[in-house]
Amino acid sequence: MTDFDAVGHATSITYQLRNQSDPQMPVSNSNASPKADAGEKKTVTETIRRLSSVSGWFVPRPSRTDEEKAVGSDESAPNADSPRTLLGENVVAVTAPDEIDTHNLHWFKAALIMIAETISLGILSLPFALSTLGIVPGVILIWVFGFVATYTGFAVWQFKMTHWEMASLAHGLELVFGRWGRYVGHVSQTLMMLFVMSAHVVIFGVAMTELTDHGLCRVWSMAIGAFLCFVVSIPRTMKGNSYYSALSCLSITIATLIALIAIAKANPAATFSTSAKSHAFLPTHLVPFRKSALATSSIILAYNSHLAYPTIINEMSHPRDFPKALIFLETFAICFYTLVAVIIYVFAGQAVASPAIGSASPLVRKVSFGFALPTIIVAGVILALVLAKNLMNVIWRKDIRVATAKSTNAWVSWLAILLAIWVLAWVVANVIPNFGQIVGLIGALFGTWFALGICSVLWLGMNRGRYWVDWRKMALTGANGSIVLVSAALCVVGSYGSILDMVAGGDQQKPFSCG
């Protein structure tokens, strides 16, 4: 038995080490220990630690026999003893009968969840970003941030597989910096998720305003959106929401294409003036600084789904397959973002709205928002699940098994947490009711760090003391250091620009108003 003198509470779980020559060997739930002969299955029971914000388990590195080392060693592979091999290839988590199974997510379903979380708010603000930056700089930023987000997502996976105990990006900061990293990480992560949830409540209110021809007060329409999100959040696993995510992916694709085709086919002269129809390939000197900062922040937010990655990896049946889901997500996102942003901006011109669906005719707006409703709800729900899991484990830290139990206490706690965070999201949505402003503020304050900076900080922490071992490490060290510095600069500049924009547009929409 292995002991851990770390935070958290220990419990016992059985993991089955599969025979290398027979990967299809059935999994047994027995606690008996068979003889460790070659070719026979082995059952390894370890005392493991339940973490503070996910449903995953920390698997310690068991000592290996000389024979096992000879068979499984790979000098070229980084950290051959890491939990990556155990969880990814030869170990299956056995869920107790009184617990919820949280290790059954296939990589393709994980990709759908990531697409549903990523391609939601961001895509609706990209055409407006191009109207500020111009087509060429805007498209360059879409591709650059897309590739950087792909790399930083891979860095999160590397850190997770090296430090399987990482429960969230905030917990990763704790592993790198200690107690102060935990406090800074958890506070900023909680605020980030609450603000994103609020943005989904805001856009739901915008959609209901269009669908009801302004017949329903926006305060109440956002309350309906928050309640629906609460209901969809009730399943306690990512797999339970993967089916909603498939619907979400389909809905945002259809909604965006409907708006895109309608705007392209419409006669712009019937709606916009000659100046409004024009579009810029390069930014003009007339664009205020605050608008440029807001546009850049909106593009960054379009790739901001990294907060959910540790939880998704924890719930995957084969965590080693996460890069497949990541590549699938980013390839689809970069191509779809470019197509939609350019076409809608070219045909709608400088008067393009944010969200972009607002640039279509009234009838098309209704149809598009109707199709977009599943995405508006589901994308907010995914981060709500991550936040609720964090809070669930904080509340039950003295009896951590309740976090995955099927007991009455567990379910009452879960529902109470969900209700509280969605009420808070509704309040924030009413305080900042402008969609473009809240998206820009989120992207500037938090998006730059959680999509870019923090991920590179984790890489630097994981490779501490090995920055200069070879040219490849030196190049990666320089790249990750640059990402951290750029994130800090974008955070300051973007936040300043977003606040200026909110002050300048303060007379547009009042908090808790029906307008």
Backbone angles phi, psi at 432, to 5 degrees: -120, 80
Domains of the chain: 9-83 (no CATH), 116-504 (1.20.1730.10)
Under 8 Å between Cβ of 168 and 53: yes
**Whole-number pLDDT of residue 284:** 56
Residue 281's pLDDT band (boundaries 50, 70, 90)? low
Rounded to whole angstroms, what are the CA distances from 349 to 253, 275, 279, 343, 506? 22, 8, 5, 10, 25
Under 8 Å between Cβ of 303 and 378: no
Under 8 Å between Cβ of 407 and 176: no
Residue 515's pLDDT band (boundaries 50, 70, 90)? low
Nearest alpha-carbon partner for 128 in 443, 280, 356, 301:
356
First to last CA, the chain: 63
Tell me the residue type at 26: P
Q: What's the CA gap between 258 and 256, in Å, rounded?
A: 5
Our measurement of the distance from residue 412's CA atom to the centroid of its chain's CA atoms, rounded to an integer in Å, reads: 26
The residues, any chain, with a CB within 8 Å of residue 228's CB and separated by 6 or more, are 204, 377
pTM above 0.85, yes or no: no
In tens, the pLDDT along 70-128 reads: 333 333 333 433 333 334 444 444 555 555 556 678 899 899 888 887 887 678 789 88
Residue 5's pLDDT band (boundaries 50, 70, 90)? very low
In tens, the pLDDT along 427-476 reads: 998 887 776 677 777 777 888 898 899 999 999 999 998 999 999 999 99
Q: What share of the chain has pLDDT > 70, as a percent?
A: 73
Q: What's the CA gap between 430 and 178, in Å, rounded?
A: 36
Inter-axis angle of helices 289-301 and 135-162, nearest 10: 40
Rounded to whole angstroms, what are the CA distances from 345 to 119, 287, 315, 353, 418? 18, 16, 39, 9, 38
**Whole-number pLDDT of residue 240:** 62
**Whole-number pLDDT of residue 73:** 36
* CB neighbours of residue 453 within 10 Å: 21
Q: Largest Cα–Cα distance in the chain?
A: 82
Instruction: Return the H-helix or E-strand segment holding 153.
Output: helix 135-162
Q: Round the average pLDDT of the chain to a whole number and report it.
A: 75
Q: What share of the chain has pLDDT > 90, as a percent?
A: 23
Residue 48's pLDDT band (boundaries 50, 70, 90)? very low
**Whole-number pLDDT of residue 58:** 34
